[in-house]
Amino acid sequence: MTDYSKVDAYLESNLDQSLDELGRFVAQPSISAQKLGLHEAAAMVADMLRARGFTPTIHQTPGAPIVTAERKGKSDKTILFYNHYDVQPPEPLELWESPPFEPQIRDGKMYGRGISDDKGHLTARLFALDALLAEGDLPCNVKFIVEGEEETASVNMLAFVTGHKDILKSDACVWEFGGVDHTDAPMQYLGLRGIQYVELTVDLLSTDVHSGLGGSIFPNAAWRLIWALNTLKGVDERILIPGFYDNIQPPSARDRELFAALPDVADEYRERYGVPYFIKGLKGGNELKVEEVFSPTCTICGLTSGYQGPGSKTVLPARASAKVDFRLIPDQDPADILRKLRAHLDAHGFTDVKITDLGGDAPARTDPDHPFIKLVVDAAKDIYDKPMSLVPMVGGSGPNHPFVHDLGLPVATAGLGYPDTRAHAPNENIRIDLYLKHARHMARVVREFGK
């Protein structure tokens, strides 16, 4: 392998400047759920790329702008980085130890909303390129696609990617996230489950009514919702929508082998989340790890109806709604699930349950034995104390399907996350040692890929 001592020395000595840049980036609020600061953040991303000799383009979409950029390098091969500049809302504000948009360094960590998810990743990757550029030209062509709606289901990404295959054409892709587990072993996540997020709404009366009046004779939106939801999944956790389990690819022997190499999670979950028991009779071990990601879900994420304050209020609610997400595994398709959900509700007489499509992503995986995955794993070897673990799929979702299936790319993950990074939560933070390691890793990946 190439000698990376100069690259590492550059990164060591310029770390403070990179963290300053990250601090300015984090200080720009860019909350997609609240449509706040998105154009400003997109412009900032374009400026950061331009400063590295990239030629960025800001594409307007029906939602937040998408920034793409390219800089040519020595080899013909092209690596594509997918990142996002939007962040989660910072609330509840009172739980932050320092203001979410005034980044602060304390005890080897840097705090701020979006510093881990995903601004730290983008900045560390640019920092890696700085180290390579300090020695001359880039080793290969490098492209970026940086969106501003990842935290709101990337609703415009599928259309953008499929409509811009030319400018996104590449040979491999590095995904926005990654990190180390609780033993500081870096993780390579090889796929994402898909998702179909819906809101189910029942709206029956023009106003809430005193329950003493309507209880015996008026239809109750909350009851209609309960009965409709109950038809979706049984107490045994089996999802009851006809055809829901069609097209599912079970985990392969190789997948099971990879899971077996990963640490047990049962005790960690019991402790961290107070899980009293696992469903489906699961006890732990490999079975739990496989089921965690290789089974699709129907999760109620929220319920809303009527009176929710303290004590009692005797009201018959006019309206009730539920937020429900379906996590999908290859080869389930979100649009197909949405159609089957509608047909199922109609067949059970729940034509009064309205479905609002809040976004979907198809599931996608990358072959664990793809050469690019091997390259990324190998490039981590002299940086981290432990070898990179291969995780066949994670439970979360993201817009990787068009990258895998429309652009035809292997998608690797690598990042600066760690178990206490608190993405989406108050006091989101990064470990500065992992920020530096990620930059070192990314510099190696780009150079090795260019060979």
Stretch that binds its own copies, among 46-54, 137-145, 253-261, 312-320 (CB under 8 A): 312-320
Query: Nearest Cα to 197, choosing from 151, 159, 140?
Result: 151
Q: How far is the CB of 84 from its own copies (least distance, A)?
A: 15
Residues 6+ apart with CB under 8 A from 16: none
Does 167 help bind its own copies (rule: CB under 8 A)?
no
**Secondary structure (3-state) at 168:** helix
CB 193 within 8 Å of CB 326: no
Q: Name which of 249 and 299 has its Cβ closer to its own copies.
A: 299
With binding defined as CB under 8 A, does residue 308 bind its own copies?
yes
Give me the 235-274 binding string for its own copies, x by CB under 8 A, dash otherwise.
x---------------------------------x---xx
Among 74, 104, 306, 381, binds its own copies (CB under 8 A): 306
Q: Does 397 bind its own copies (CB under 8 A)?
A: yes
Cα–Cα distances in angstroms (integers) from residue 36 to residues 33, 93, 227, 246, in the given order? 8, 16, 38, 40
Which residue in the set 225, 258, 383, 411 belongs to the binding site for its own copies (CB under 8 A)? 225
Of 69, 229, 364, 380, the residue at the interface with its own copies (CB under 8 A) is 229
Q: How far is the CB of 313 from its own copies (least distance, A)?
A: 6
Q: Could you tell me which residues come within 8 angstroms of residue 289 by beta carbon, excluding any fewer than 6 positions away?
A: 259, 262, 264, 265
Region near its own copies per CB under 8 A, out of 19-27, 71-79, 128-136, 280-288: 280-288
Selected binder of its own copies within 109, 119, 121, 233 (CB under 8 A): 233
Q: Which of residues 14 and 211 has its CB atom nearest to its own copies in the complex?
A: 211
Q: Is 386 in the site for its own copies (CB under 8 A)?
A: no
Other beta carbons within 10 angstroms of residue 192's beta carbon come to 30
Determine which residue in the list 15, 27, 185, 303 makes contact with its own copies, applying CB under 8 A.
303
Q: Which of 99, 387, 395, 426 binds its own copies (CB under 8 A)?
A: 395
Question: How crowded is residue 449: how many other Cβ atoms within 10 Å of its Cβ?
Answer: 23
* Subset of residues 131 to 160 that bind its own copies, contact rule: CB under 8 A: 152-153
In the complex, least distance from residue 7 CB atom to its own copies, rounded to whole angstroms: 34
Neighbouring-strand partners of residue 147: 84
Residues in the interface with its own copies (CB under 8 A) total: 81
Q: Which of 62, 92, 136, 276 binds its own copies (CB under 8 A)?
A: 276
What φ, ψ does residue 177 adopt, rounded to 5°?
Answer: -130, 175
Pairing outcome for strands 315-316 and 109-111: unpaired
Q: How many residues does the chain have?
A: 451
Tell me how far apart the alpha carbons of residues 445 and 451 are, in angstroms, rounded to a whole number. Answer: 10
HSE-CB for 83 with a 13 A CA cutoff = 29
323 makes contact with its own copies (CB under 8 A):
yes
74 backbone dihedrals φ, ψ, rounded to 5°:
-65, -45
> Which residues, 22 to 51, sit near its own copies by CB under 8 A?
33
108, 242, 285, 302: which one binds its own copies (CB under 8 A) = 302
Of residues 180-219, those binding its own copies (CB under 8 A): 193, 195, 197, 199, 204-207, 209-219
Q: Is 338 in the site for its own copies (CB under 8 A)?
A: no
Closer residue to its own copies, CB minimum distance, 4 or 197? 197
Give the 3-state secondary structure of 88-130: CCCCCHHHCCCCCCCCEEECCEEECCCHHHHHHHHHHHHHHHH
**Distance, CA of 4 to chain centre:** 31
